[in-house]
Amino acid sequence: MTSLFKHIQRSSSSLLVLGLLFLLPVTGCKKYLEVPLPINEIAGSAAFANDYTSGAALNSIYSQLYNQGDFDGTGNVGYLTGSYGDEFRSLSSLPSNTALYADGVSSTIGGVTGIWTNLYQEIYPVNLAIESLTPATNLNHKDQWLGEAYFLRGLMYFYLTNLYGDVPLVLSSDYQTNNTLSRSLQTDVYKQILSDLKQAQGLLDDNYHDGTGAVTTDRGRPNRRAATALLAKVYLYTRDWTDAESQADSLISDGTDYQLTTPAQTFLINSQEEIWGIEPIQTSLYSYIEKDVPAYYIPDGSTPVSVGVGLCLSDSLLNAFEAGDARYTNWIGVDTVAASGSTPAALYYYAYKYKAFGTYTTAQEPIVMFRLGEQYLIRAEARAEQGNVGPAASDLNAVRTRAGLPSTTAATQSDLLRAIQKERRVELFSEMGNRFFDLRRTGALDALMTSLAPLKGGAWSTFKEWWPVPLTDVQNDPNLVQTPGYQ
């Protein structure tokens, strides 16, 4: 980690605001990303000298999250955990697609170390923002900028600890301190996440704001409700059922700004179901495209290899859907390949939650990070764990009704908890690692992976529930140890 954080500090001492949002004033971006900077470099904390540059500095972080593809595309959390677990079936025999099963000692396997590097790279400017904004007295929108920074740090640590377990808590921009950090216990990481999100909740308001601080209808920057959504999820993961229910309830009870939509509308830009999403920007490869589309989409009649797609949905996931489920018809695509010579006909089913693939002048679909459907299932599980079976079933039925399904038949606490997990699987598939995280936190991962891993060309060991960290960071930081099992 020494090399990582020293590199970040050096490149940020003359802060390009992470490339000034990768040259921020890209034509055609939504307004919340349209905060052009008057100069090419802003030194350190001077990036937060006024509202204008503060908004732009934070924009750079959102842009980096999109450009690095941590939450959409072929290297994102959902893609990798789905490939690792039971959501996807690999269509490739490349070593990188099987290494997580075949090699228990490598620390560079399967591309999973990249998320570690990316998220820690983002934590540096977030820490710099918190340090610079906290004492500021001349900003009209200080609470917004500072609240966003705390939220972003909580978000990044949520994914770091759910992928790598115990992780270093980097809470300052002092690289000399960061160079020698050891892993913090996951319980302490969660305490920090909760602290950051509560700070964000207290600073942000319920409106959405653009890059100038003005109120907007665009849901591309986090507001108080986004912090609440992540808080509900963190409380669920830490088994604090009362607070998980309370946080989710505050979102569900809103009834005005947030409502369950039809499956066809769920992932559209500024959908009423969206609580917060990262909005795609213009790039040389994909203009305003949610990168899950090229990662999963197989045009009818095309072989997956001809369009560069390396996986499809697993049979077990397809079989988890009930007949008549509108999510199946709206969120799953099918590619029919006719027989050719000695090659038999084939069907490939793929994730099709995002559909906009082409050239656009504005974003059509955001990377939906938090949405109301998940909050109903969080509240349902929290209520069921507390023995409130009736209200839990009502929450579950709200999601099922939206999908065109009848009410659940689960009547006992244990049956209802199983039904909720099944519903989470078909509701949240391919999204943000939810399935893999659910299997682990409910104690179901080992049994499933023990039987699944041989089918994927390898073997399962319990230590593989956590991922390895970059070998160079371990070599350069005397206090950082490799994830147990990967030494």
Say whether pLDDT at 50 is over 60. yes
> Are residues 370 and 230 in contact, defined by beta-carbon separation less than 8 angstroms?
yes
- Burial of residue 143 (CB within 10 Å: 0-12, 13-18, 19+) is middle
What is the C-alpha separation between 117 and 138, in angstroms, rounded?
A: 34
Say whether pLDDT at 17 is over 50. no
What is the C-alpha separation between 279 and 287, in angstroms, rounded?
A: 11
> Are residues 66 and 430 in contact, defined by beta-carbon separation less than 8 angstroms?
no
What's the pLDDT score for residue 113? 87
Going by pLDDT thresholds of 50, 70 and 90, the confidence category of residue 342 is confident
Least confident of 98-112, 389-403, 449-463: 98-112
What is the C-alpha separation between 393 and 37, in angstroms, rounded?
A: 51
Say whether pLDDT at 422 is over 70. yes
Say whether pLDDT at 23 is over 50. no
Average of per-residue pLDDT across 273-289: 89
- For residue 355, which of 266, 262, 258 has the smallest C-alpha distance? 266
Least confident of 14-18, 110-114, 177-181: 14-18
Q: pLDDT averaged over the chain? A: 88
What's the pLDDT score for residue 102? 52
Average of per-residue pLDDT across 59-82: 92
Average of per-residue pLDDT across 88-109: 59
Distances (CA, A) of 33 to 60, 64, 344, 400, 485: 9, 12, 48, 36, 42
Say whether pLDDT at 6 is over 80. no
Going by pLDDT thresholds of 50, 70 and 90, the confidence category of residue 308 is very high
Going by pLDDT thresholds of 50, 70 and 90, the confidence category of residue 20 is very low
Going by pLDDT thresholds of 50, 70 and 90, the confidence category of residue 227 is very high
Average of per-residue pLDDT across 350-377: 94
Average of per-residue pLDDT across 228-242: 98
Outline where DSSP puts E strands in 387-474.
none
Q: Sketch out the chain's domains with CATH numbers.
A: 2-282+366-476 (1.25.40.390), 292-351 (no CATH)
Question: CB neighbours of 414 closer than 8 A, spacing ≥ 6?
Answer: none
372-383 residues labelled b (16+ CB within 10 A) or e (exposed): bbbbbbbbbbbb
What's the pLDDT score for residue 435? 98
- For residue 168, which of 186, 189, 184 has the smallest C-alpha distance? 184
CB atoms within 10 A of CB 422: 16
What's the pLDDT score for residue 41? 42
What's the pLDDT score for residue 93? 62
- For residue 110, which of 92, 78, 72, 84 has the smallest C-alpha distance? 84
What's the pLDDT score for residue 240? 98
CA dihedral 105, 111, 112, 116 (to 10 degrees): 110
> Are residues 250 and 378 in contact, defined by beta-carbon separation less than 8 angstroms?
no
Question: Maximum CA pair distance of the chain?
Answer: 73
Token pair for 60: 């750079």
What is the C-alpha separation between 66 and 108, in angstroms, rounded?
A: 23
How would DSSP label each residue in 330-380?
HHEEEEEE--BTTBPPEEEEEE-S----S--SS-SS-EEEEEHHHHHHHHH
Say whether pLDDT at 154 is over 90. yes
What's the pLDDT score for residue 101? 55
What's the pLDDT score for residue 29? 38
What's the pLDDT score for residue 28? 34
Q: Which residue has the higher pLDDT, 110 or 338?
A: 338
Q: Which residue has the higher pLDDT, 235 or 102?
A: 235
Average of per-residue pLDDT across 201-206: 98
Going by pLDDT thresholds of 50, 70 and 90, the confidence category of residue 21 is very low
Token pair for 152: 């972003």
